[in-house]
Amino acid sequence: MIVLATTQRIIGYIIFAVVVAGFVVWLVTNLRGARAEAGSEIELAPNRRPYLTDDELETKQLNLALFSAAGLLAIIGVALPLYWLAEPGRQAGAKEMYQEIFVERGFELYETGAQCVACHGGNGSGGSATFIINDQNGQFVDQVSWIAPALDNVLYRYSEEGVRYVLNYGRPGTPMAAWGAPGGGPLTTQQIDNIIDYLWTVQVSPKQLRSTADDFIKQIDEGLYDRMLKVRKSNEKVTDALKANRLSREDELALGEILFNNQSLASGSYSCARCHVPGAAFGKAYTSFSRVPMSAFGPDLAGVENEATQQQHFDLVNTGMVPGIGYFSRKQGNPQMPAFGTNPNAGQADKGIPDKGPEGMLSIEQLWAVVRYERNLSNDSTVKSAVAGTAESPTFAGGK
């Protein structure tokens, strides 16, 4: 595209040079023809000067005029289609150039302007933020290290719109502030868009997205990892998740536990607990601050098996909350419940949204494992003892 644009420019310069040269030649001949000796207008008045003969005028002169006109016409005739041919390339080149400028601006905001990097790490690799918890009188209660999820995979779990929402409004009660003008933050809508343009450039490949979680599981339990890959392979041609092969009950509970709770895998970006378990985002799951009622961003999931069928539950975790669409056949969702199975940005290349393929954060057998684990939370001894063992248990349940 760039090459086309340059070729077009070269042609433009050549045409310009030809036109200028022609003008100069015309000017010089004209001036020379017009130059006359002093007093000659008396001696040889213009009308007395012998003019060209008929032969000269009707053949030589006429031919010259006609040929140069035809030549110029040919140049225009060739130049216009050439210009027309190169125009899409020029436009694409301009678009690409603007895109590069946007990404560069987004990068500057990420690194220095808004310092996302301080919490979310270089290239969106994830990190943490020091956060002070005060009670309602502003008295210091605790200082915690709040996990800041990796952002190099954020566009696999949130649509562009979803990411824009978090950037605009932040997450009240967490270190993530409102950055966009709609939420009272310092950045313009254009700047928020530039940050999203930048985030696109640091997204990992679909393969890396999968292997990051897989390698983490392998480190914890190699046998489980092998069985997981075997089930995944057997599901390669499965399109209906309900008909997919699944791990054994024990394996699903073990795998679900890892995925639900872990905060060290990509800074909690694959985890559910960081939003669904009070305190999990700063390593103090279910630990009570006596003066501050604990709550979580998302609702407590113990008992979710009574709220939804397996299929409804799976669908929700798979595609996340879609604004305006109810879930569990009753509620309108908060769009901040991410999609974990299906990439919400896939298949929208026509809208200019990069397409990284249909797969999301978790594969089918991993999704089923998390779903099974959640539907078993009421029987989970750690959850029960944590809730039973504190005076503040009623306020633990965030959403309830």
Interaction site with ligand HEC (CB under 6 A): 114-116, 118-120, 129, 146, 148-149, 151, 154, 163, 166-167, 171, 174-176, 179, 195, 269, 272, 274-276, 281, 297-299, 301, 304, 307, 313, 316-317, 321, 331, 333-334, 336-338, 340, 370, 374
> What is the Cα–Cα distance from 363 to 234, expressed in whole angstroms?
12
> What is the Cα–Cα distance from 48 to 36, expressed in whole angstroms?
14
Q: Is the CB of 86 or the CB of 187 nearer to ligand HEC? A: 187
Q: Is the CB of 105 or the CB of 313 nearer to ligand HEC? A: 313
Among 262, 265, 250, 270, smallest CA distance to 340 is for 270
Q: Is the CB of 195 or the CB of 231 nearer to ligand HEC? A: 195
Q: Which two tokens stand for residue 161?
A: 């719109």
State in angstroms the smallest separation of the CB of 337 from ligand HEC.
3
Q: Is the CB of 8 or the CB of 164 nearer to ligand HEC? A: 164
Q: Is the CB of 310 or the CB of 395 nearer to ligand HEC? A: 310
State in angstroms the smallest separation of the CB of 341 from ligand HEC.
9
> What is the Cα–Cα distance from 349 to 61, expressed in whole angstroms?
61
Burial class (CB in 10 A: 0-12, 13-18, 19+), 248: exposed
Q: Is the CB of 8 or the CB of 271 nearer to ligand HEC? A: 271
Dihedral over alpha carbons 362, 364, 365, 369 (to 10 degrees): 70
State in angstroms the smallest separation of the CB of 299 from ligand HEC.
5
Taking the CA atoms of 390, 394, 399 and 400 in sequence, report the sign of the dihedral they define: positive
> What is the Cα–Cα distance from 283 to 386, expressed in whole angstroms?
14
* Residues with Cβ within 8 Å of residue 157, at least 6 apart in sequence: 269, 320, 338, 339, 340, 344, 360, 361
> What is the residue whose two structure tokens read 């200019």?
352
Q: How far is CA 343 from CA 74, 117, 347, 387, in A?
A: 54, 25, 9, 35
State in angstroms the smallest separation of the CB of 334 from ligand HEC.
3
Q: How far is CA 58 from CA 22, 61, 68, 97, in A?
A: 23, 6, 15, 55
232, 363 contact by CB (below 8 A): yes
Among 204, 198, 199, 203, smallest CA distance to 99 is for 198
State in angstroms the smallest separation of the CB of 24 from ligand HEC.
58
State in angstroms the smallest separation of the CB of 204 from ligand HEC.
14
Q: Is the CB of 86 or the CB of 224 nearer to ligand HEC? A: 224
Q: Is the CB of 190 or the CB of 334 nearer to ligand HEC? A: 334
Q: Is the CB of 254 or the CB of 370 nearer to ligand HEC? A: 370
State in angstroms the smallest separation of the CB of 133 from ligand HEC.
13
Q: Is the CB of 211 or the CB of 332 nearer to ligand HEC? A: 332
Among 159, 163, 164, smallest CA distance to 181 is for 164
State in angstroms the smallest separation of the CB of 394 from ligand HEC.
17
125, 152 contact by CB (below 8 A): yes
* Residues with Cβ within 8 Å of residue 285, at least 6 apart in sequence: 261, 273, 277, 278, 279, 386
State in angstroms the smallest separation of the CB of 104 from ligand HEC.
16
State in angstroms the smallest separation of the CB of 336 from ligand HEC.
5
> What is the Cα–Cα distance from 93 to 87, expressed in whole angstroms?
10
